[in-house]
């Protein structure tokens, strides 16, 4: 396959970025998208040029670090797929592909396609914990959890924190991410002691990180590689409203 790449290059957050054009004529349809970028970087290094900086780790759709916009879509055109799981057979011979970093005020560019997503970590740090005793695993039936609650918690915990919801949102909102991280603890019995303080602390941190507001556009749900539902945003709003009117801390 012959592919024309238009890749965003930017030295650092203060430098002016630009799209750099590259032509690859040895792309296998069986390559993953990141393997294709590896081939590009090998050719750049062989030619004495600076390779394209991009994040990757597990390459199995687990870590969420392979964050990039591909032809204007977060993680690319295939639904519920991270960039590392995307294969070149999703494109056609002769296609032009535009590759850019996440675009959000809360995600400053470090270099090329790499952005600083520590703002998401700080949201989790603000309230993503429980105060129950740690140590040996408790007996399986010591804290009964219904299947519905367990399923809801697991659905929320599927969030990998990649930031696609923020990048896809026209407002740069982190509501879906925050809602998922709040919900997977708030719905469980183990998460009840901090339920009210957790939701207020994490929403407060989200606002301090300069993410935009949610206007129910819904693009976050469509871009999420794990299919996190915007129903969790409704749950977050209800918990936050209750916590705001409560005198308990």
- Interval 186-198 mean pLDDT: 93
> Could you give the angle at the alpha carbon of 102 between the alpha carbons of 176 and 77, nearest 5°?
80
CB within 8 Å of 187: residues ≥ 6 apart: 149, 152, 153, 156, 235
- Cβ(72)–Cβ(103) under 8 Å? no
Q: What is the pLDDT of residues 31-59, one digit of tens each?
A: 999 999 999 999 999 999 999 999 999 99
- Cα gap 170→172, rounded to integer Å: 6
> Does residue 104 sit in the same domain as residue 127?
no
133/234 same-domain check: yes
167 confidence band (pLDDT: 50, 70, 90): very high
Asked if the structure places residue 131 within a domain, the reply is yes
Number of domains into which the chain is organized: 2
Q: What is the pLDDT of residue 155?
A: 97
Q: Looking at the domain assignment, is residue 249 inside a domain?
A: no
- Rounded Cα distance between 28 and 189, Å, is 50
Verify that 129 and 24 share a domain, yes or no.
no
**Within a domain: residue 8?**
yes
Q: How far are the Cα atoms of 67, 127, 168, 182, 222 from residue 164, in angstroms, in the given order?
A: 7, 22, 6, 18, 10
Q: How far, in Å, CA of 182 to CA of 165, rounded? A: 16
Residue 20 lies in a domain: yes
Q: Do both 127 and 205 map to the same domain?
A: yes
**High-pLDDT (> 70) share of the chain, %:** 97
Q: Do residues 31 and 24 touch, judged by C-beta distance below 8 A? A: no
| Same domain, residue pair 141 and 208 | yes
Predicted local confidence at residue 248, as pLDDT: 61
Same domain, 149 and 238: yes
Q: Hey, what are 100's tokens?
A: 């850019």
pLDDT of residue 128: 86
132 or 234: which carries more pLDDT confidence?
234
**What's the mean per-residue pLDDT of the chain?**
94
Structural domain ending residue among the three candidates 110, 142, 167: 110
Phi-psi region of 213 (alpha: psi -120 to 50; beta: other; left: phi over 0): beta
Are 174 and 165 within 8 A, CB to CB?
yes
In this model, does residue 82 exceed pLDDT 70? yes
End residue of a domain, out of 90, 110, 130: 110
For residue 134, is pLDDT > 90?
Answer: no
Last residue of a domain, which of 110, 136, 156? 110
In the predicted structure, residue 144 carries a pLDDT above the cut 90: no
87 secondary structure, DSSP code: B
Count Cα atoms within 13 angstroms, Cβ side, for 100: 16
**Phi and psi at residue 42, to the nearest 5°:** -60, -40
Give the confidence band of 140 by pLDDT, cuts at 50, 70, 90: low
* Residue linked to tokens 């990048």: 167
pLDDT band at residue 132 under the 50/70/90 scheme:
confident
With H, G, I as helix, E, B as strand and everything else as coil, classify residue 111: strand
What percent of the chain has pLDDT above 90? 90
Poorest-pLDDT segment among 52-61, 78-87, 110-119, 138-147: 138-147
pLDDT of residue 249: 54
Decide: 160 and 226 in contact? Cβ < 8 Å: yes
**Cα(35)–Cα(151) distance, integer angstroms:** 35
Say which CATH number the domain at 56 has: 3.10.20.30
Q: Which of 25-39, 132-146, 206-220 has the lowest mean pLDDT?
A: 132-146
Residue 142 is predicted with a pLDDT of: 78
**Residue 130 falls within a domain, yes or no?**
yes
Pairing of β 96-100 and β 3-9: parallel
Mean predicted confidence (pLDDT) in 235-244: 96
Domain of residue 19, residue span: 3-110
Which of 13-27, 127-141, 210-224 is predicted with the least confidence, judged by mean pLDDT? Answer: 127-141
Give the residue-averaged pLDDT of 6-22. 96
């Amino acid at each position: 396959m012959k592919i024309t790449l238009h890749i965003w290059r930017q030295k650092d957050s203060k430098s002016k970025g630009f799209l750099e054009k590259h032509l690859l004529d040895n792309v296998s349809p069986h390559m993953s998208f990141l393997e294709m970028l590896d081939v590009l970087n090998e050719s750049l290094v062989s030619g004495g040029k600076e390779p394209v900086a991009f994040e990757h780790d597990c390459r199995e759709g687990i870590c969420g670090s392979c964050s990039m916009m591909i032809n204007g879509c977060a993680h690319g055109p295939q639904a519920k797929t991270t960039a590392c799981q995307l294969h070149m057979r999703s494109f056609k011979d002769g296609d032009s592909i535009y590759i850019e970093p996440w675009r959000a005020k809360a995600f400053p560019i470090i270099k090329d396609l790499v952005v600083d997503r520590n703002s998401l970590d700080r949201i989790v740090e603000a309230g993503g914990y429980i105060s129950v005793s740690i140590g040996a695993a408790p007996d399986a039936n010591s804290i009964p959890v219904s299947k519905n609650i367990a399923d809801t918690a697991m659905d929320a915990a599927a969030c990998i924190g990649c930031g696609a919801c923020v990048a896809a949102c026209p407002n740069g909102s982190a509501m879906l991410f925050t809602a998922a991280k709040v919900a997977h603890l708030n719905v469980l019995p183990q998460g009840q002691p901090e339920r009210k303080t957790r939701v207020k602390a994490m929403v407060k941190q989200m606002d301090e990180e300069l993410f935009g507001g949610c206007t129910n556009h819904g693009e976050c749900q469509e871009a999420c590689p794990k299919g996190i539902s915007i129903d969790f945003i409704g749950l977050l709003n209800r918990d936050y409203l209750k916590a705001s009117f409560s005198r308990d801390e």
